[in-house]
Amino acid sequence: MRALVSVSDKTGVVDFARGLRSLGWEVIATGGTMKLLRESGVEVVNISDVTGFPEICDGRVKTLHPKVHGGLLARRDDPEHLKALKENGIGFIDLVCVNLYPFRQTIAKPGVKMEDAIENIDIGGPSMLRSAAKNWADVTVVCDPADYGQVLSEIRAGGNTEKTTRLKLSAKAYTHTAEYDAMIATYMRAQAGLDEKLFLEFDLVQPLRYGENPHQSAKFYREGSRTPYSLAFARQLNGKELSYNNIQDANAALCIVREFDEPFCVGLKHMNPCGAATGRDVAEAWTKAYEADKVSIFGGIVATNREVTREAAELMKPIFLEIVMAPKFSDEALEVLRTKKNLRLLEVDMTRGEEARKQYVSVNGGLLVQDLDAETRRVEPSMCVTKVRPAEAQMKDLNFGWRIVKHVKSNAIVVVRDGRTLGVGAGQMNRIGSAEIALKQAHAAGFTEGLVLASDGFFPFDDCVALAAEYGVTAIVQPGGSVRDEDSIRKADEKGIAMCFTGERHFKH
């Protein structure tokens, strides 16, 4: 029995090859793999001694040879195949152990040149994997070091791998080459300025109990590269398995948290914030967010951008919550919160860095792709369009409200004061409806003056400004851009309200 070993990722390969040799297998190797195995005391045969041809073109050509692919592809049950091998002096190759040049790692390097990327496109490796995978009935193909142990165990027990294992390894090899080729195609199309195809690669995180409703099946996948503010790479420290709706809501909460550098906390239900606030620390931010809407937070999700302390944990503990997310939990906080066995605690990487830049939304028979709405324009005094200018405290609330309203379902209106939400109007079919919800909510909480209002889209009429004045709003931020902007500006001047136009809307459908 013969094995051909040629790997870029050399994890575990010495022990694997040594194991094959101990079981009486001949091991053929190439280049750097051969050098490593020989230095480690493993007896191997140089690929050139098998092919009778040297490696050429700086190693670009070494395994593309009939004595390699004939030995892999020949069917053991076909007399004509066996005759062809005998006439050409070709021996069987019964196992291929190959993983590919590090193309992903190469193109991930800052400032990588195209010629470096090209040199890390593997040709012989995928060819051997595909040949071996095609002939899986007779040939074992191994592309993942995690499979070395099982392969050796089966050979040790029965002289060869089991047929069911070879089929699974074949499928795994084709998946490996498909992902590799898709990665290369995506890179090369980007260099050529082509966008007629879209290849997406996601790995299964876990099957979910069900989707949005119990009769819908669902699974959770993640992208290949690690991303901050991502639930897909979070570490669960306590609680039940996440559900489909949990994941949707938690992702929405993380998008809001990403807006803030100062201590911040948000409570969220059905992908809309029900309470959000900044504070001196996480305990104060939580308290302000909770008090913004004590009713809606029941069964909600909480996210903060600071380590959860014992003090904060003690404040959260009496409230029924589904999830608490933070960059870290103190040992004391975990001791407090883990007494609630079903409460999901998630540690999420919130370091500033390279974040996801594209957003994908499925529609019937298609996929929408857009740039993520990641940047938020800062509200500046120069954006004021009214005679009344916003005071310094109002500017802080205008910026706070503007960063929150972009994450509320359109039509969206948010009413804030002193760095916390007081009312949230979400997803109404007209903007005045959202404004009424948010303003009435603020009044019901006892806040009737000094309010600041934020709108994700422009006002088509002056009715929202008039209503805001009735409820004690003294400053407004909105994108502007309506043909009736002057009506809203006149109404704001009439009511003594400061209003800023950011020039950028934040619809969220």
Q: Which of 10, 134, 172, 443 is catalytic?
A: 134
What is the 3 state secondary structure string of 243-262?
CHHHHHHHHHHHHHHCCCCC
Q: Which of 81, 172, 240, 270 is catalytic?
A: 270
Report pLDDT for 30.
86
Report the distance separating Cα 235 and Cα 295, nearest Å. 29
Q: Does the annotation count 134 as an active-site position?
A: yes
Pick out the chain residues at pLDDT < 70: 54, 56-62, 354-356
Contacts of 26 (CB under 8 A, 6+ apart): 1, 2, 3, 45
Give the pair of three-digit tokens for residue 439: 């303003």
Report pLDDT for 298.
94
Model confidence pLDDT, tens digit, residues 404-458: 999 999 999 999 999 999 999 999 999 999 999 999 999 999 999 999 999 999 9
Model confidence, pTM: 0.82
CA angle 83, 88, 90 (to 5 degrees): 85
Do 201 and 223 meet the contact criterion of CB atoms below 8 Å apart? yes
Q: What share of the chain is helix, strand, coil (3-state, %, to 5)?
A: 40, 20, 40
Report pLDDT for 431.
95
Do 27 and 159 meet the contact criterion of CB atoms below 8 Å apart? no
Contacts of 367 (CB under 8 A, 6+ apart): 198, 360, 361
DSSP 8-state code for residue 390: P
Report pLDDT for 61.
67
> What single letter denotes the amino acid at residue 288?
K
Model confidence pLDDT, tens digit, residues 366-408: 999 999 998 999 999 999 999 999 999 999 999 999 999 999 9
Report the distance separating Cα 19 and Cα 253, nearest Å. 50
Q: What are the structural domains, with CATH classification, of the chain?
A: 2-192 (3.40.50.1380), 202-347 (3.40.140.20), 381-501 (3.40.140.20)
Q: Would the CA dihedral through 397, 400, 406, 412 be positive or negative?
A: negative
Report pLDDT for 59.
64
Q: Does the annotation count 35 as an active-site position?
A: no
